[in-house]
Protein backbone atom coordinates (compact mmCIF):
# COMPACT_ATOMS: atom_id res chain seq x y z
CA UNK A 1 0.00 0.00 0.00
CA UNK A 2 1.21 3.48 -0.80
CA UNK A 3 1.93 5.53 2.30
CA UNK A 4 -0.06 8.61 3.22
CA UNK A 5 1.33 11.66 1.43
CA UNK A 6 3.00 14.16 3.77
CA UNK A 7 1.09 17.38 4.41
CA UNK A 8 2.31 20.19 2.15
CA UNK A 9 3.20 23.65 3.47
CA UNK A 10 -0.37 24.86 2.81
CA UNK A 11 -1.79 22.05 4.95
CA UNK A 12 0.68 22.95 7.70
CA UNK A 13 -0.35 26.63 7.53
CA UNK A 14 -4.06 25.70 7.53
CA UNK A 15 -3.45 23.54 10.58
CA UNK A 16 -1.94 26.58 12.31
CA UNK A 17 -5.37 28.24 12.47
CA UNK A 18 -6.23 25.94 15.39
CA UNK A 19 -2.59 25.36 16.33
CA UNK A 20 -1.65 26.11 19.92
CA UNK A 21 1.44 28.31 20.07
CA UNK A 22 4.29 26.99 22.21
CA UNK A 23 7.76 27.96 23.45
CA UNK A 24 10.33 28.29 20.66
CA UNK A 25 7.72 28.99 17.97
CA UNK A 26 8.50 31.94 15.70
CA UNK A 27 5.49 34.22 15.26
CA UNK A 28 4.71 37.52 13.57
CA UNK A 29 2.30 39.99 15.14
CA UNK A 30 1.10 42.61 12.63
CA UNK A 31 -0.91 45.66 13.70
CA UNK A 32 -2.85 47.07 10.74
CA UNK A 33 -2.00 50.73 10.14
CA UNK A 34 0.72 50.77 12.82
CA UNK A 35 3.82 49.24 11.24
CA UNK A 36 5.99 50.43 14.12
CA UNK A 37 4.13 47.98 16.41
CA UNK A 38 4.52 45.01 14.06
CA UNK A 39 6.96 42.49 15.48
CA UNK A 40 8.50 39.15 14.54
CA UNK A 41 10.12 36.97 17.16
CA UNK A 42 10.39 33.75 19.11
CA UNK A 43 8.08 32.82 21.98
CA UNK A 44 10.28 32.47 25.08
CA UNK A 45 10.68 29.34 27.22
CA UNK A 46 7.93 30.51 29.58
CA UNK A 47 5.52 30.92 26.64
CA UNK A 48 5.62 34.76 26.61
CA UNK A 49 5.92 37.16 23.68
CA UNK A 50 6.46 40.90 24.02
CA UNK A 51 4.94 43.51 21.77
CA UNK A 52 5.87 47.22 21.84
CA UNK A 53 3.46 49.20 24.06
CA UNK A 54 1.44 46.08 24.98
CA UNK A 55 4.33 44.55 26.94
CA UNK A 56 4.67 40.84 27.60
CA UNK A 57 1.71 38.65 26.66
CA UNK A 58 1.26 34.94 27.36
CA UNK A 59 1.22 33.30 23.93
CA UNK A 60 1.88 29.69 25.01
CA UNK A 61 -1.15 27.41 24.79
CA UNK A 62 -3.19 29.93 22.80
CA UNK A 63 -4.45 29.68 19.24
CA UNK A 64 -3.41 32.59 16.93
CA UNK A 65 -6.97 33.99 17.00
CA UNK A 66 -7.07 34.01 20.83
CA UNK A 67 -3.72 35.82 20.93
CA UNK A 68 -4.97 38.39 18.38
CA UNK A 69 -7.97 39.18 20.60
CA UNK A 70 -5.87 39.46 23.76
CA UNK A 71 -3.33 41.79 22.12
CA UNK A 72 -6.12 43.90 20.61
CA UNK A 73 -7.66 44.32 24.09
CA UNK A 74 -4.26 45.39 25.54
CA UNK A 75 -3.69 48.00 22.80
CA UNK A 76 -7.29 49.24 22.44
CA UNK A 77 -8.03 52.80 23.46
CA UNK A 78 -4.60 53.62 24.89
CA UNK A 79 -2.48 53.48 21.74
CA UNK A 80 -4.60 52.40 18.80
CA UNK A 81 -8.27 53.29 18.48
CA UNK A 82 -9.52 50.02 17.00
CA UNK A 83 -6.54 47.67 16.61
CA UNK A 84 -6.69 45.07 13.86
CA UNK A 85 -4.10 42.43 14.76
CA UNK A 86 -2.95 39.40 12.80
CA UNK A 87 -0.86 36.66 14.40
CA UNK A 88 0.99 34.38 11.97
CA UNK A 89 2.94 31.27 12.96
CA UNK A 90 6.14 31.44 10.89
CA UNK A 91 7.93 28.42 12.34
CA UNK A 92 6.34 25.82 14.56
CA UNK A 93 8.88 24.24 16.84
CA UNK A 94 6.32 22.85 19.25
CA UNK A 95 4.55 20.52 16.84
CA UNK A 96 2.59 17.61 18.31
CA UNK A 97 1.10 14.23 17.43
CA UNK A 98 -1.40 12.05 19.28
CA UNK A 99 -1.11 8.34 20.11
CA UNK A 100 -4.27 6.49 21.16
CA UNK A 101 -5.63 2.96 21.37
CA UNK A 102 -3.78 -0.04 22.79
CA UNK A 103 -0.64 1.70 24.02
CA UNK A 104 0.68 1.96 27.58
CA UNK A 105 0.56 5.78 27.71
CA UNK A 106 -1.89 7.35 25.24
CA UNK A 107 -1.49 11.11 24.90
CA UNK A 108 -0.31 14.15 22.94
CA UNK A 109 3.47 14.25 22.42
CA UNK A 110 5.84 16.85 20.92
CA UNK A 111 7.61 16.20 17.63
CA UNK A 112 11.32 16.83 18.09
CA UNK A 113 13.21 16.38 14.85
CA UNK A 114 12.16 13.55 12.55
CA UNK A 115 9.48 11.25 14.01
CA UNK A 116 8.46 7.87 12.55
CA UNK A 117 5.55 5.54 13.33
CA UNK A 118 7.72 3.13 15.35
CA UNK A 119 9.16 6.03 17.37
CA UNK A 120 5.64 7.41 17.93
CA UNK A 121 4.44 4.10 19.41
CA UNK A 122 7.62 3.85 21.51
CA UNK A 123 7.05 7.42 22.78
CA UNK A 124 3.70 6.21 24.19
CA UNK A 125 5.67 3.51 26.08
CA UNK A 126 4.89 0.88 23.44
CA UNK A 127 1.90 -1.32 22.62
CA UNK A 128 0.02 -2.82 25.56
CA UNK A 129 -0.90 -6.50 26.12
CA UNK A 130 -4.14 -6.16 24.12
CA UNK A 131 -2.59 -4.49 21.06
CA UNK A 132 -3.00 -5.73 17.54
CA UNK A 133 0.22 -4.37 15.99
CA UNK A 134 -1.00 -5.39 12.53
CA UNK A 135 -3.77 -2.86 12.84
CA UNK A 136 -2.15 0.56 13.34
CA UNK A 137 -3.81 3.56 11.69
CA UNK A 138 -2.40 7.03 11.00
CA UNK A 139 -5.01 9.78 10.58
CA UNK A 140 -3.86 12.91 8.74
CA UNK A 141 -5.59 16.05 7.45
CA UNK A 142 -4.74 16.91 3.84
CA UNK A 143 -6.49 19.72 1.95
CA UNK A 144 -9.09 19.91 4.75
CA UNK A 145 -9.88 16.21 4.22
CA UNK A 146 -9.23 13.62 6.89
CA UNK A 147 -7.30 10.69 5.47
CA UNK A 148 -6.16 7.44 7.04
CA UNK A 149 -3.78 4.61 6.24
CA UNK A 150 -3.38 1.20 7.85
CA UNK A 151 0.07 -0.15 8.77
CA UNK A 152 1.43 -3.47 10.06
CA UNK A 153 4.14 -2.79 12.63
CA UNK A 154 5.43 -6.34 12.14
CA UNK A 155 6.22 -5.59 8.48
CA UNK A 156 7.90 -2.29 9.42
CA UNK A 157 10.01 -3.97 12.13
CA UNK A 158 11.12 -6.71 9.73
CA UNK A 159 12.07 -4.13 7.08
CA UNK A 160 9.43 -5.22 4.54
CA UNK A 161 7.73 -1.81 4.81
CA UNK A 162 9.42 1.54 5.34
CA UNK A 163 8.73 3.25 8.65
CA UNK A 164 6.42 6.19 7.73
CA UNK A 165 7.11 9.71 9.01
CA UNK A 166 4.76 11.31 11.53
CA UNK A 167 3.84 14.99 11.05
CA UNK A 168 2.23 17.75 13.09
CA UNK A 169 -1.40 16.96 14.08
CA UNK A 170 -1.16 13.28 13.04
CA UNK A 171 -3.17 10.83 15.14
CA UNK A 172 -1.78 7.30 15.57
CA UNK A 173 -4.24 4.66 16.78
CA UNK A 174 -2.97 1.21 17.75
CA UNK A 175 -5.72 -1.38 17.28
CA UNK A 176 -6.90 -3.79 19.93
CA UNK A 177 -6.97 -7.58 19.83
CA UNK A 178 -10.64 -8.00 20.78
CA UNK A 179 -10.28 -11.74 21.51
CA UNK A 180 -7.48 -11.17 24.04
CA UNK A 181 -9.50 -8.38 25.67
CA UNK A 182 -12.62 -10.57 25.78
CA UNK A 183 -10.81 -13.46 27.48
CA UNK A 184 -9.17 -11.13 29.98
CA UNK A 185 -12.58 -9.58 30.85
CA UNK A 186 -14.38 -12.93 31.02
CA UNK A 187 -11.71 -14.68 33.09
CA UNK A 188 -11.70 -11.65 35.36
CA UNK A 189 -15.46 -12.02 35.89
CA UNK A 190 -15.44 -15.84 35.97
CA UNK A 191 -12.05 -16.97 37.29
CA UNK A 192 -12.80 -20.69 36.79
CA UNK A 193 -13.72 -20.43 33.11
CA UNK A 194 -11.20 -22.25 30.95
CA UNK A 195 -10.55 -25.07 33.39
CA UNK A 196 -13.70 -27.13 32.55
CA UNK A 197 -12.84 -29.64 35.26
CA UNK A 198 -15.87 -31.35 36.87
What confidence score (pLDDT) does residue 193 get?
Answer: 46
pLDDT at residue 138 in the model: 93
- The pLDDT value recorded for residue 3 is 62
pLDDT of residue 197: 43
For the chain, residues with pLDDT lower than 50 are: 1, 193-198
Q: How far, in Å, CA of 25 to CA of 90, rounded? A: 8
Per-residue pLDDT at 114: 81
Q: Return the closest-CA partner of residue 177 out of 121, 123, 135, 124.
A: 135
Q: How far, in Å, CA of 196 to CA of 198, rounded?
A: 6
DSSP state of 3: P
Q: Which helix (H) or strand (E) holds 97?
A: strand 95-101
Evaluate whether 60 touches 46 at the Cβ level (below 8 Å).
yes
Output Rg (C-alpha) for the chain, integer angstroms: 23
pLDDT for residue 141: 84
Closest CA to 110 of 120, 101, 125: 120
Looking at residue 188, what is its pLDDT? Answer: 59
Q: Strand, helix or coil at 26?
A: strand
Amino acid sequence: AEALPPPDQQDMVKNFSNYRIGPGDKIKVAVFGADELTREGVVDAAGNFSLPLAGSVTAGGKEPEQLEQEMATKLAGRYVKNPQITVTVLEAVSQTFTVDGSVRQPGVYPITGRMTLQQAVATAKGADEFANVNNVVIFRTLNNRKMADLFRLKDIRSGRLTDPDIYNNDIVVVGENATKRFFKDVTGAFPLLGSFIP
